[in-house]
Each structure stands twice: as structure tokens, then as C-alpha cells.
Structure 1
Amino acid sequence: MTREFNVVDEMLAPYRVTSPYGPRKDPFTGAPVFHTGIDLVKGHLAPIHAFTDGVVTHAKMGVAGTGYGGFGVVVAVQDRNGATHLYAHLHDAAVRVGQRVKRGDVVGRQGSTGRSTGSHLHYEVRRKGYGTHTDPIAYLREYCPAVKEPVVAAEIAKKAEEDVMKAIEAWKLELADKAIDNLAVKKDATGKSLLQNADEWKARLRKEPQKVLEDMPWLLFVMVDRATNGGGK
């Protein structure tokens, strides 16, 4: 028995997507443009974690002509495929060029440096350098494919135990119903049933089993008294 797990969903869970990859209006001019990355928001100055392993190739304010102009403080990480991951508009960088990072390592803090309208992370993936941007989420899913994880034996055992307990509960309820019917049929010398209102008791068993258990000593006392003093048959 297996279940599907995708680490990408887990990595993106702390963020809110404010602008997806693709066509949009320029936030400054209103003109139609193509958004080359995805804008993610966690919280101003929140730590930004690397989405992949790789080597840091840039970790400072981007300048015109470098491919990072207008992106403010940028940390760029090159992954095993040679693709570059941009973490842009950062408040500051927490890594240096040449440093190796692992997925989950902090590369900087969310900010609003460069051409930005507010604190956010512009995350972009370039397969082969400037101008070769691709849908970053699609790339991450390709880079970190979903895996089939075996369901732990303990979980299977727990599920089996729960199923058995449900079956036992149903069996106990059926047995209790039969006992109630039997007591309702038996009568004392006066002709009264040892247990009256059988349907009521059955309904209570289903609605408030705990209350029925609390009333059981009293019920047993009444039935024994009737059977003893009335000569139940």
C-alpha cells in the first residue's frame, strides 16, 4: 500500500501566491507584460529557504547588464541541471558566491528592494541563463517528482485495529438489542415486562451510550427486584 508525496507542495505551503508565472499587467505602468517568475509572500523579513540544492552564483544587489537589474538584492543558485534559481527583491542575502546550499537552507530574508511595489519574493528559474525563464512551479515538480511512499506498517495495523473495533461495537450493539428484546418479553407475576419501553432504551443506546451505562446499576436493581419479588418467568 502506497501514498503519493510531493515535496514541492510542502515547500510552497508557507507562501501565498500573489502573482503567478505568465502574462499580467505591469504593476507600475499597467501595460501588458510577461511575468518571468512567480511572486510569493510569507512575511516581511521572513527567512527565504532554497527550493533546491546548488551553488550560489550571485548574492548581492543586481545591476543593469547582469541579468539581475531591477530585481534588487538577488541570490542566484545553480542546480545540478545547470538551471539558475533567482530569489529576488530580498532584504538581504544570507549566503555568499561559491557557497553550496541544500534545499531548505536560508538564502536571505523577504524584502522589497529593487523595482518592487511591496515586500515579496520574486522566484524565477532560468534553464540556460538570462531569457530562458520557465514556469518555476512546473520546473520544481519536474526536478522533485512525486514519490510513492509505502504506508508504514504501524499505520496499517492501526487502521486494522480501528476496523475491528468498529465491528466489535456493531456486534455489541446487536447483542444489547437482543438482550433488551428478551427482557421486554419476560414478565413478572403481575404481567408486567421486566423491561418496559424497549424501543426507548435502544434509541438511548445509540444516542447516549455513556448515560445508559451510568443508569445500568439502577436498571439491574429494578429488574432483579421485579424478578425476585414478582416471580418473573
Structure 2
Amino acid sequence: MPAFNIDDMLREYRVTSPYGPRKDPITGASETFHTGVDLVKAHRAPIRAFVDGTITHAKIGVSGTGYGGFGIVVAVRDKNGYTHMYAHLDDVSVHVGDMVQRGDVVGHQGSTGRSTGSHLHYEVRRRGYGTHTDPIAYLREYYPVSKPDAPTPELAEKAEEDVMKAIEAWKLELADKAIDSLAVKKLLQNADEWKARLRKEPQKVLEDLPWLLFVMVDRATNGGGK
């Protein structure tokens, strides 16, 4: 089964406001910090949990709970004790105490609370209010991309053997071409014998061939050593 990649889930959304400093969309103040990431599908589209966990909040957020101003909120506590907040929902599909798995629907995209339009405000808190962390970076750490298994020694040895065989075949092909070239230039009279020997004792022929080439070229250029 292929390893899970969180980016496959994130591709369902369009990011309209990332985590970090930004201009407040309601007040226009420039010195604000966006504590989550705004993700958009379509109004009332199902919102699915990014992680397994326990539902700790599933209703409209009120002042003093850490969810005030975020409208209808579902909060999920993961295995590390971090809280994943799904905010501005149109409704909820879960109850406090429920166990959810990644991909389960927790609610539907909405625009409740302090919002300028239908979207999901997704936030990850290490403990409580004010302890936010980059949610996308956290998910990528939470679901590390697995590396392929290293080949076994047997497979590595087989691969090396295959490479060496390919190299030897390439050497033989070059040797054949060299013999043919010498024969065409009439520098070698017994080409077929050399090719037959090449098949019987390739290593010896490959060792002899450079010397043969040298001798043949020397004869051709120096008139046989006169």
C-alpha cells in the first residue's frame, strides 16, 4: 500500500491566506498575525479531518473558550496532544468525545463567526489559545514522506552483475565494429577468425585488440616499418 502523502489531501483546497503576518481582512490593520491557514473548497463542502484524534469541541465558539470569534468550531486532539481547529464551519458532523480518523467528515465549510466569506480556518495549537504553530509544516512533519527501502545485498549484487554484463556486451559490440573497420580498410585479412575468437575468449581478445590496432595502423602509415 503506497505511503500517505498529506499534500494529496491539501490539493482539495485553495489557500487564500497562509500562516503568518498579514493585513487584517476586516479591520485593515497591517500588523496582525494569521494564526492558521485559510482553505477554500466550496460553500458547505465537506471538511475532513487531517489527523486521527478525539473531538474536544463541536459547537459555536464563545468568549473564554479559546474559540470565540471563530464561529462554529470542531477541535480534534491528536496523538501528540496538539489541537487541530476547524473553524467558521456551517455545521458540525461530530460530537465531543467521538474518535475520528483521517478523512472523516467533521463538518461543512461555512462563514460563521468573524469571517468575510465561506472558508475553512485551519489552526494547530500545541496546547491552548496562543500556542499556534504553522499547520501545514506540522502536517508534513506528522506525515513524513517515507523513503524507499534500500535494496537487499542480493538485489544489489544482481544489479551490479547486470551492469557488468551490459558493459561487456557494449565492449564486444565495439570490438566487432573495430574488426569490421580494419577489414574494410584491408588492414585485417582474417576478420572472421578474430570475431570467432572474440566469442570464445573475449577478455583475451579485448586485451590484444589495442595492440593489434596499433600494429595495423603502424603498418599502414609507415609502410610496414621500412
Any idea what the Cα deviations from partners look like across 1:202-225, whole Å, max 9, x if unmatched? xxxxxxxxxxxxxxxxxxxxxxxx
Q: Give 1:35's aligned residue.
A: 34
Q: Indicate whether 1:25 and 2:42 are aligned.
A: no
Aligned residue for 2:122, secondary structure, equals strand
Which residue of structure 1 aligns with residue 184 of structure 2? none
SS in 2 for 1:147: coil
Q: Following the alignment from structure 1 to structure 2, what is the Cα–Cα distance between the partners of residues 138 and 8?
A: 11
The yes-or-no answer on 1:14 pairing with 2:7 is no
Q: Which residue of 1 aligns with 2:119?
A: 120
Distance 2:44 2:148 in 1: 35
Report deviation, 1:89. Answer: 0.1
Residue of structure 1 equivalent to 2:171: none
CA distance in 2, matches of 1:27, 1:121: 15
Which residue is 1:96 aligned to?
A: 95
* Amino acid of the structure 1 residue aligned with 2:12: P
- Report sequence identity in percent: 73
Aligned residue for 1:71, secondary structure, equals coil
Q: Is the partner of 1:139 in helix, strand or coil? A: helix
Q: Secondary structure of 1:87's partner?
A: strand
Equivalent residue letter for 2:20? G
Q: CA deviation at 1:6?
A: 5.6
Q: Distance in 1 between matches of 2:92 and 2:122?
A: 14
* Matching of residues 30-179 of structure 1 within 5 Å: 30-31=28-29, 32-149=31-148
Native 8 Å contact 1:39 1:120 kept in 2: yes
Does the aligned pair in 2 maintain the 1:5–1:148 contact within 8 Å?
no
For residue 38 of structure 1, report the CA deviation from its aligned partner: 0.1
Per the alignment, residue 163 of structure 1 pairs with none
TM-score, structure 1 as length reference: 0.61
State the TM-score, normalized to the length of structure 2.
Answer: 0.63
Q: Which runs of 5+ in 1 are unaligned?
A: 151-233
> What residue identity is the alignment partner of 1:26?
D
Q: Distance in 2 between matches of 1:40 and 1:130?
A: 20
Q: Which runs of 4+ in 1 moved over 4 A?
A: none
Tell me, in whole angstroms, the C-alpha distance in 2 between the residues paired with 1:20 and 1:95: 27
Take 2:131 and 2:41, find their aligned partners in 1: how far apart are those partners?
Answer: 27
8 Å contact kept, 1:5–1:149: no
Q: Offset of 1:149 from its aligned partner?
A: 4.7
CA RMSD of aligned residues (A): 1.3
Distance in 1 separating the partners of 2:4 and 2:39: 19
Instruction: Letter of the 1:13 partner, please give it.
Output: R
**Matching residue of 2:200:** none
CA distance in 2, matches of 1:114, 1:125: 18
Deviation of 1:128 (Å): 1.2
Task: Give, as a single letter, the amino acid of the residue that structure 2 aligns with 1:33.
Answer: T
Q: For 1:29 and 1:56, locate their aligned partners in 2 and report how far apart those are by CA, in whole Å.
A: 32
> Partners in 2 of 1:80 and 1:149 — Cα distance?
26
Number of the residue aligned with 2:197: none
The size of the alignment, in residue pairs, is 147
**What amino acid does structure 1 have at the position aligned with 2:13?**
Y
